[in-house]
Amino acid sequence: MPKVKFDILETTCVPLPLENIDTDQIIPARFLSATSREGFGDNLFRDWRYNKSGEKNSEFILNDPRYSGKVLITGKNFGCGSSREHAVWAIYDYGFRAVVSSDLADIFRNNSLNNGLLPVVVPAKFLKYLLDLTGKDPDTRVRIDLGKQLFSVMPAGESVRFEINQYKKECLMKGLDDIDYLLSIMDLIKAYEFRNTLGK
Amino acid sequence: MTPQTLFDKIWDSHVVRSVEKGPDVLYIDQHFIHEVTSPQAFNGLKERGIPVFRPDKTLATADHNIPTKDQHLPIKDELSRNQVEKLAENCKKYGIEFFGLNHPKNGIVHVIGPELGYTLPGMTIVCGDSHTSTHGAFGTIAFGIGTSEVEMVLATQCVLQSKPKKMKISVSGLLQKGVTSKDLILHIISQLSTNGATGYFIEYSGSALKALSMEGRMTICNMSIEMGARGGLIAPDETTIKYLSQIPSLSGRSDFNSLLKNWKELKSDPGAVFDREHEFHANEIKPMITYGTNPGMGMAVDATIPLITSKSAGIASFIKSHEYMGFKPGMKILGHRVDYVFLGSCTNGRIEDIRAFTQLVKGKKKAPDVTALIVPGSKRVEQQAINEGLDKILKDAGFELRQPGCSSCLAMNEDKIPAGKFSVSTSNRNFEGRQGPGARTLLVSPLTAAAAAVTGKITDPRDLLND
Ligand code: SF4
């Protein structure tokens, strides 16, 4: 996992106003045969980004030169479907650092947190405002302050507070990872095992 | 003592520690791995220079990208072959049991776990695969995890997880003839929607569930994830115990009787509180079919595709979905042309599913324009189908029984459905491109798949069932 610390992010955004975008759209299964974590960004949204003959689909937002930035804004239930972490690797590898929606699929959210991609859940109304705004104005800038758990439209537009598990927040801000934590409590894990084999 | 749900009992007894203002450290009893989501996790161990902590609690299989024909030959696709070889290597290096290609115990991870007796009531089970929820049919907490979490479990046999909320779904009455557990779960998902259970763990109960076989229950729990739930479970009962007692490696265990005693106690206390409850009536449910590009877009096979109202929040997604499928709101799909039929997957690739399909096509002929893929979920299922003579009946009707694997469910191997073709499938996901770029998937039960296979059209299977 990337040990990049997450603090404050100021950037433009890419709006993708569709709901229920599943992991097969984010990264189709035929690209899952790799055995490393790198390079998945090239195939992010592959079948929407390219048409059958392999040319770029000019109507898809990632191919629109007016749009760029490190935040992906998208409709509810983003990341539903498979548990493939490749979906998060693809989004991260492409250059996104946060995904904003009114509702994110559970496994996708966990996978994001484990890879330094910040999942930001905002109220449905605010999401609509955000999608409209960025749809009209590609230069809209946003600011994510993880410490304050604040998502704001710049320069001084609306802002909302978002929830994040305090433990996970600390991990992201300090660039720590779960395995280090678990390895540090191996004694407790072994004690648990001992209790439970004795009890049987 | 406050009454507890079964979910709480299993979860709480597996918490090693609760992180302050954070998730629980959950101990995992059984870890399943496969070729697609494990290589990066093993790389992680290697980089850290640490071993697999409990190789004896880990079981590996190759299922996602393997061919379903000529499995004795080397896998043609280089990347897939490399992935399966990597898994074999890693298992050897770390001492993990591996049922690779051609092993008599090989099969789809969620089919072999239960049939070989690895999945036991009261366990916590994880796998880098969202349909791990299948194992909940035995009264387990089983859920899918990402590759970073696979690495955690390999390294420490634990995973950090926030406790989900609890949902109860009870189904009264009994399913009618020609209506299967697949129809029941497709009906529930169509009512609750594809994110209707996000953040929850489901307990299924009620007379309709009680009446189901273990295979039928696995189909239900399997698709819990399609409503966004972390997983779903069903309390063990006589049906569960009978199923498990028939597995020689289990019933031969010296502690089998004490296991039995523990399993019988696994249930929610009367009065236990759930965060949400839903009720359904089995008698009203008809054979189901999906018409869109998520499993929540389902309806009775003879119904018309619902109209999009201005209230439908995801209007753009609806329109995109209809364009992709080539359907229109208000249209009936009964009688619509079918190009491909896929029987298989961890949802419906078990012996009962093959029996149901065979029963309906027996004495009939495959429709000439239909290409059918009949793929057993495991070597054991394949063998049993052959022992029961199902392969012969299928052959006489113009079908071929393939070798086991995930196959067309996610089309990582050669079994891809061509663009634009209509595929009636017993798998669990009708996402765009799931069965191949541009493929159009309609999710159904094995009976409805069989009806389509012999008529070449979307057909109500009840019209073809005699007596
Ligand atoms: S059969 Fe399909 S859903 Fe099941 S494990 Fe294989 S790919 Fe996943």
Encode pLDDT of B376-426 as tens digits: 999 999 999 999 999 999 999 999 999 999 999 999 999 999 999 999 999
Q: What is the pLDDT of residue A199?
A: 45
Contacts of residue B407, defined as CB under 8 A and 6 or more positions apart, other chains included, come to B68, B342, B344, B345, B373, B375, B413, B415
Mean pLDDT, chain A, integer: 94
Residue B9 or A33, more confident? B9
Q: What is the pLDDT of residue B314?
A: 76
- Where is average pLDDT lowest: B19-23, B407-411, B437-441? B19-23
ipTM above 0.90, yes or no: yes
- B6-277 falls under which CATH superfamily? Aconitase, domain 3 (3.30.499.10)
CATH number for the domain harbouring residue A112: 3.20.19.10
Best residue among B34, B68, B110 to mutate for probing ligand 1, ranked by most atoms within 8 Å of CB: B110
Q: Whose CA is nearest to atom 6 of ligand 1?
A: B406
The count of structural domains within chain A is 1
**Gap between the Cα atoms of B270 and B284, Å rounded:** 27
What distance in Å separates residue A115's CA from the closest CA in chain B?
8
Q: Is residue A2 in some structural domain?
A: no
Model pLDDT for residues B250-281, shown as the tens digit of each residue: 999 999 999 999 999 999 999 999 999 999 99
Q: What is the pLDDT of residue B205?
A: 98
Model pLDDT for residues A3-22, shown as the tens digit of each residue: 689 999 999 999 999 999 99
Q: What is the pLDDT of residue B109?
A: 98
| Mean pLDDT (whole number) for B418-438 | 97
Q: Is residue A70 in some structural domain?
A: yes
Tell me which chain A residues have a C-beta less than 8 angstroms from the C-beta of B146: 83-85, 88, 107, 110-111, 114
Instruction: Inform me whether the pLDDT recorded for B310 exceeds 70.
Output: no
| Mean pLDDT (whole number) for A45-67 | 95
Instruction: Inform me whether the pLDDT recorded for B117 exceeds 90.
Output: yes
Q: What is the pLDDT of residue B261?
A: 95
Q: Is residue A3 in some structural domain?
A: no
If you classify domain B287-466 with CATH, what class do you get?
A: alpha beta
Q: Is residue A143 in some structural domain?
A: yes
Instruction: Inform me whether the pLDDT recorded for A175 exceeds 50.
Output: yes
Q: What is the pLDDT of residue B21?
A: 87
Index of the ligand 1 atom closest to the CA of residue B377? 1
Asked if A193 is an interface residue toward chain B (Cβ–Cβ < 8 A), one would say yes
Q: What is the pLDDT of residue B313?
A: 58
Asked if A165 is an interface residue toward chain B (Cβ–Cβ < 8 A), one would say yes
Model pLDDT for residues B319-376, shown as the tens digit of each residue: 999 999 999 999 999 999 999 999 999 999 999 999 999 999 999 999 999 999 999 9
B194, B461 in Cβ contact below 8 A? no
Ligand 1 proximity of B348 Cβ (cutoff 6 Å): no
Residue to substitute from A40, A59, A77, interface B, most B β-carbons within 10 A: A77
Q: Is residue A67 in some structural domain?
A: yes
Q: What is the pLDDT of residue A155?
A: 81
Q: Do A36 and B411 touch (CB under 8 A)?
A: no
Q: What is the pLDDT of residue B1?
A: 83
Contacts of residue A59, defined as CB under 8 A and 6 or more positions apart, other chains included, come to none
Listed by start position, the domains of chain B span: 6-277, 287-466
Mean pLDDT, chain B, integer: 96
Q: Is residue A65 in some structural domain?
A: yes
**Gap between the Cα atoms of A141 and A157, Å rounded:** 10
**Gap between the Cα atoms of A160 and B242, Å rounded:** 54
| Mean pLDDT (whole number) for B449-463 | 98
Q: Do B156 and A28 touch (CB under 8 A)?
A: no
What domain range includes position A59? 8-198
Computed on alpha carbons and rounded to an integer, the radius of gyration of chain A in Å comes to: 19
Do B6-277 and B287-466 share a fold? yes
Instruction: Inform me whether the pLDDT recorded for A200 exceeds 50.
Output: no
- The first and second tokens of residue B74, run together, are 């080397």
